[in-house]
Structures are given as C-alpha cells and as structure tokens.
Amino acid sequence: MANLTVLGAGAWGSAVANLASDNGHEVSVWSRSSSLNLESVLIEADVVVSAVSMKGVVETVERIKRIKLNANAIIVTATKGLDPVTTCTPSRIWRDAFPERSIVVLSGPNLSQEIVQGLPTATVAASLDLEAAKRIQDIYNSETFRVYINSDPLGTELGGTLKNVFAIAAGVCDGLHLGTNAKSALLTRALPEMIRVGVRLGAQVETFYGLSGLGDLLATCNSALSRNYRVGYGLAQGKSLEQVLQELKSTAEGVNTTNVLIDLAKKQGIEVPVSTQVYRLINGIITPEQAVAALMERTVKPEKSS
C-alpha cells in the first residue's frame, strides 16, 4: 500500500484520488483553497499526483520546491495543457524543478464523470523510469481502470493535451449539425496534425495511435461530458467564448492550449490547419461557419501529405 497526496480537488483530481483510495491506498487531497497544510500532506507521501489546472502548475511547483519530500517519492502529473509563457508541457516543468525525481505522466481516455460512475476505462502511465511507471500501474490498476505503461511521457502528455484543441472543433461540427461524415473526416485529419506536432517536439509516432492519443481523441471529441467539446458546441450555437466559459464554471484547457499551440507552430514551422481555424474561431476572427468553409476550401493533395 502507498501513501498518496493528490494536488487539485477538481473533477479530475477527485477522480484520481478516489481510484487510489478504492484500491486501498492512503490518500490526502490538497488544493489552494484547502485548510490542510501543504507540507504536512507531502512529507510522508510516496506518490505526489498533480491534477491542478495548467495555470496552477508553475505556482504549485514553486511551492513544493521549498518542501522536503520523501526521498523516493514519485511525482505523477495528470495535467493536460501547455504553459503560455514557456510553451512547456507540465512534465517538463516538473522535471526541470525536480531533475532527480522520477516523473510519471498519467493520461488517457478518462472522462472524470464516467470514472466517478464506476464505468470502465483504460489509461497510460508513462515515464523514462519504467520502474516508476510500473509502480503507478500497480497503485491504480483495477477491474474498471486498466493501466498500461510506456516510455514516451512526452507523446503521452501531448496526445492528452492536443486533443482538447480538436475537441473544440468536434463540438463546432456537432453544434452546426454537419453530420457523421464531416466529423469523421475532421477527426481523421486531426490525428496526423497531432502527430506532426508531437514528432517535431520529440515524441514517438506510435504513442499517438494508442490510448493517450487516438483513444483520448475519440473520447473527448464524442462526449458532451468534455468541457472542450462543449466550448465548440456553444460557439456553434452563436454564444460568445466568455458566455460559454461562464456556463461551464470550470476550466476548458483547450482554449489556452490552442493559443499556445499556434504560437509554437509558427516558431517551429509546423502546419496545423485544423488548429489554426480553432484559434481564429476562439479569438473572434471568424465564425464557426467560416471556420468549416476554410477547412473545406484547402488545396486538394494526396491524403498522406495533408
């Protein structure tokens, strides 16, 4: 049995805390609004799971750097996003702050509300330290939460991050009632776009065909439980982004990720046509109908190069 501290008490943080607790582990949950002292819940932790929103990662890391952790504590990052200042993924931020620690990425087709309901799913624990990944696998694996491991934390993390951009596009597609054919075409083109970005940044192609890439893409782009999907759906109904986000009453990481991704793609010279239209849409440059038209009007070319 392990002693875990989960950072973040939102829907996802609560879900990962319950999963570990249900497997018999000792779990403490801390958030910025918690009355618990952060040092007191970290000092005995064998595993520290970060499920804070992207905007809270840097602040959380800085606070923990001042605390003496258990010598062998594993850090697990379950945040999906890109830092707007550095364009770094959460695991990179944690690794730079704690280079001597084993960092594990936890990501997959994991809609929080379905997990809370006890519905079955699978996920990936990825790390350069496979023993640490196996430890997290042992802690979390159950009859309803199947855990696989791999050695590509960057690809695992980027799959879970970039699919939020395409979930916004999928929500627009459904909100405009464009049909199954159009949505299937959209998701099929989203996957190679995700791979182009991931490979350029150093991830492995194979990872994106797995649970944390294609699996998470399908889950997030086909469910109203996805906050990012609901952003796109709301925009397609003529609502402003501000109105949609107010109605959500929670963070939709895809909005920030889209803005950071476009900046990153421009600097790296990566072609991201779907993401570009999502960027133009959420920034009020075009309407949902114009975004769809722009994608349909692209120059035709062989499929494998598009």
Three-state SS string across the chain, please? CCEEEEECCCHHHHHHHHHHHHCCCEEEEECCCCCCCHHHHHCCCCEEEECCCHHHHHHHHHHHHCCCCCCCCEEEECCCCCCCCCCCCHHHHHHHHCCCCCEEEEECCCCHHHHHCCCCEEEEEECCCHHHHHHHHHHHCCCCEEEEEECCHHHHHHHHHHHHHHHHHHHHHHHCCCCHHHHHHHHHHHHHHHHHHHHHCCCCHHHHHCHHHHHHHHHHHCCCCCHHHHHHHHHHCCCCHHHHHHHHCCCCHHHHHHHHHHHHHHHHCCCCHHHHHHHHHHCCCCCHHHHHHHHHCCCCCCHHHC
Instruction: Examine the pLDDT at 189 and tell me if it is beyond 60.
Output: yes
Same domain, 142 and 251: no
| pLDDT tens per residue across span 48-90 | 999 999 999 999 999 999 999 999 999 999 999 999 999 999 9
pLDDT > 90: percent of the chain = 93
Q: What is the pLDDT of residue 251?
A: 85
Instruction: Examine the pLDDT at 144 and tell me if it is beyond 90.
Output: yes
Asked which of 151, 179, 198 is the last residue of a domain, the reply is 151
pLDDT (average), residues 119-148: 98
Nearest to 19 by CA among 143, 173, 161, 177: 143
CATH number at residue 133: 3.40.50.720
Distance CA(196)–CA(10), nearest Å, equals 31
Answer whether residue 47 is part of any domain.
yes
Confidence band for 301, pLDDT divided at 50, 70 and 90: low
Instruction: Examine the pLDDT at 265 and tell me if it is beyond 70.
Output: yes
Answer whether residue 156 is part of any domain.
no
Answer whether residue 278 is part of any domain.
yes
* More confident site: 222 or 298: 222
Domain with 35 in it: 3-151
Confidence band for 34, pLDDT divided at 50, 70 and 90: confident
The residue annotated as part of the active site, out of 55, 80, 134, 163, is: 163
Q: What is the pLDDT of residue 299?
A: 64
- Say whether 301 is catalytic: no
Same domain, 177 and 145: no
Confidence band for 159, pLDDT divided at 50, 70 and 90: very high
Same domain, 99 and 226: no
Same domain, 217 and 117: no
Confidence band for 300, pLDDT divided at 50, 70 and 90: low
Q: What is the pLDDT of residue 279?
A: 98
Same domain, 170 and 146: no
Average model confidence (pLDDT) across the chain = 95
Same domain, 104 and 242: no
Same domain, 101 and 176: no
Same domain, 199 and 131: no
Confidence band for 42, pLDDT divided at 50, 70 and 90: very high
Instruction: Examine the pLDDT at 113 and tell me if it is beyond 70.
Output: yes
Same domain, 9 and 143: yes
Answer whether residue 266 is part of any domain.
yes
Same domain, 145 and 193: no
Confidence band for 289, pLDDT divided at 50, 70 and 90: very high
Asked which of 151, 176, 208 is the last residue of a domain, the reply is 151
Asked which of 118, 151, 184 is the last residue of a domain, the reply is 151
pLDDT (average), residues 90-101: 97
pLDDT (average), residues 220-249: 96
pLDDT (average), residues 153-179: 97
- The tally of domains found in the chain comes to 2
Distance CA(301)–CA(22), nearest Å, equals 51
Same domain, 231 and 122: no
Answer whether residue 242 is part of any domain.
yes
Q: What is the pLDDT of residue 207?
A: 98
Q: What is the pLDDT of residue 15?
A: 96
Answer whether residue 250 is part of any domain.
yes
Same domain, 94 and 203: no
